[in-house]
Structures are given as structure tokens and as C-alpha cells.
Amino acid sequence: MDGKIVLDWLIELQEQLNRNNTGGTLTNNGTDNGVGFFNVTGIGGGNDTDFGIMGVNNTDFGTSTLPPGVTNPPIPPGGNGTGDNGDGETSGDPHVRVETQFGTPVCFNFHGDNGRFVDLLSDPVTGFEVNAEIKSNGAITRFIAIGVVYSNGGVTHTIRCDEDGVVIANNGETVGTYAYADTSIRNHGDIELSANHGHRAGVAIKIQNVAEFVVTFKDRNHKKADKGVFIEDNHSMGFRTENTDGISHSATGIIGQFITPFAYDTIEDTSPNFVVFHDRHVPAEVEFFHGLDYCLKVQDALVPTLLGNIISAYYADSLFGVNDPANMADIMSP
């Protein structure tokens, strides 16, 4: 779908607004030398989502995340609705990859403070949260534990995944401990745990009607001389979503805010490319993520600009702490 089709649709939408409303306007907030957006202002002068992108010298770059054949307005992020979400993952030291449905994946590196806990994905509607514990020596950052919280029917379920395996508890009482090598299927109410069938040790977790995801464990490069010797925190934990259809469009967190429908857009026919998130155009370059899929990579110095907030805004009080979405709000949006 090229930019002209989107522009024609915007003009048609504006004509409908003019017929059905008073005060509806279509404006281009960009300038000849800058990058801006068309804004559609509708009933009561309220500002709806941004649909088109104008670039340098008023060149129309189109909207690359719209799927072919879409003629209705994109679904704006937010709200209690579910479905049509994308996916996200973290791995290594750690690399983050996020993808809204129908969109080009975006990747960036995460750097945080040693011993703190960060909100990767949280959904206040379903009571679902995924946090990670940070291990950092300044130069290298890793996640050494993944904590999952799910509250439903008066019960708070917690799942801890670290170098010792998996521990699941209900309202603070342990109901199961498992090794990553355990291949059996374990059911705890709405939660099902099974072995990860990928190339790394880990656990596959399914929370009924909410999400399916995998937590992986990687023992980091023990030297031959250290074989069999336990080295504390010499490992990294990964997290990867498999199905997010039950997560609401109010999801937030380092990963969560990017996986809801049309959460971001990309401009890929310019140099540099851009990731467009909440009206911000963040430069990015095409890169392969772990040698498999390509993504638009945002450089480390620009990650806070992409997120719209400082990294510490995403910190939780503990591995099972539930972060306040207001703390993670985009403070750079107009």
C-alpha cells in the first residue's frame, strides 16, 4: 500500500467528517524541512490517531505497517480490547526484539542497573506481568531471573525462573518446583508448564486465555577448566512470547508497549530508516537479529528516545512487583 492510497483515503475520510460533523479538520503538522504527521480531528475537536506520514520536502513515505487491503483506520493502542497483538523477546546480554502485527520488527539493546528489576511486559487488564532481574558490571548487562505474576479469582500466581529451575507459587505458597530437563506437562489451574523444545533449556508456559511464552536458560561459557564448577550468576535468562492474543491493548513495559496493534510504524525507503513511535521519528538501521530475522536496529544512545522515558521508569520493586503503568508513561509525547 503506497502513500498515495493512504493520502486518498485521508481526503475521503475528511470529506466524510465535513459532511457529518462541524469543526472536523485535516492538517499536516509537518514542515518542508521536518518530519510530521497528518492529524485527523473529528467530533468535538478531539485528536484521533495519526494515519499518514510526511517527510523531508513533503515527500509522502506511506504507512508501511498497514497490511495490504486495509481500508479502515488503524486500531489505536490502548483500551481493554484483545487480539491482533504482535510478539517480543529478549535474549543474550540482552537484545530486545519487538514486533507489532503486520509490522517490521524493531530491535535494541537493554542496559540497566545491577540488582534492579525491570518490567518487560505488563497488562493491568488481565493482571499479567513479566519482570526480569538485572545483572550488570557496567559493560555487560544480563537478565539472571524472570518473574511472572498472574492474578485471577483472588489468587496471585507467581513463577520464578532462574539458574535453579522453575518455582510456581499461589498466594506465596509454593505448589511446584521443576528442573528445565523435566519433560512432563504440569497443570496448576489456568497455568500449564512444559519443557521448551528449542535448542536451549527452558520452560514453556501457557496461561489460559491470556498468553503463551517461553523462558530460556543459558549457562554462559564455562571454561573447560571450570567444568562442573558452579559460578554464581554466570548465566542469562531469555523471554519470548508465542501467543499474545489474550493480552489487552493496554499492555506496557519494555516489550509490551510495542506489541499492541499499530503501536509503531516504520519508514524504510529513506536513509536512515526511521521507527515512528508516538510521533517521534527515531533513526534505525537494518540489522539481522541473531542471524535469523532482520529488524530495524535502534542505537543504544537513542533507546530512551524510542521508549519515551528513562530506563529506571520501568523498574519494579521486586521480581514479582507490579509496576504502576503511570510510571512508564511516555513523557516525551506532545
pTM for this predicted structure: 0.74
Question: What sign has the CA pseudo-torsion 70, 75, 80, 83?
Answer: positive
Contact residues for 247 (Cβ-Cβ < 8 A; gap 6+): 82, 85, 121, 123, 126, 128, 210, 211, 256, 259
Least Cα distance to 239 among 193, 206, 284, 204 occurs for 204
Least Cα distance to 96 among 316, 317, 300, 251 occurs for 300
The whole-angstrom distance between residue 280's C-alpha and the CA centroid of its chain comes to 17
Dist. CA 289–CA 105, nearest whole Å: 9
Q: In this predicted structure, what is the pLDDT of residue 154? A: 92
pLDDT tens string, the chain, 334 residues long: the values are 444 444 444 444 444 444 444 433 333 333 332 333 333 222 233 333 333 333 333 333 333 333 344 334 444 556 667 888 999 999 887 899 999 988 999 999 999 999 999 999 999 999 999 999 999 987 788 999 999 999 998 999 999 999 899 999 999 999 999 998 887 899 999 999 998 877 788 999 999 999 999 999 987 665 556 655 666 667 899 999 999 999 999 999 999 999 999 999 999 999 999 999 998 999 999 987 665 678 999 999 999 999 999 999 999 999 999 888 999 988 887 6
Q: In this predicted structure, what is the pLDDT of residue 225? A: 62
Asked if 253 and 328 count as a contact pair (C-beta separation under 8 A), the reply is: yes
Q: In this predicted structure, what is the pLDDT of residue 145? A: 96
Contact residues for 239 (Cβ-Cβ < 8 A; gap 6+): 89, 90, 91, 120, 130, 132, 143, 146, 213, 214, 215, 216, 255
Measuring CA to CA, how many Å separate 230 from each of 135, 143, 224, 235? 17, 18, 13, 11
Cell of 102: 503486520
- 36 bridge partner residues: 54
Q: In this predicted structure, what is the pLDDT of residue 156? A: 95
Instruction: Please give the helix or strand (H or E) that residue 166 lies within, else none.
Output: strand 165-170
For the sheet with 36-41, list strands across it: 25-28, 36-41, 47-54
Measuring CA to CA, how many Å separate 69 from each of 37, 153, 187, 226, 326? 22, 41, 42, 58, 36
Q: In this predicted structure, what is the pLDDT of residue 25? A: 36
Cell of 81: 480490547
Q: In this predicted structure, what is the pLDDT of residue 117? A: 97
Cell of 4: 498515495
Measuring CA to CA, how many Å separate 196 from each of 15, 236, 240? 53, 16, 11
- What number of other Cβ atoms are within 10 A of residue 79's Cβ? 12
Provide the residue ranges of all domains of the chain, joining segments of one domain with +.
1-63, 87-260+309-328
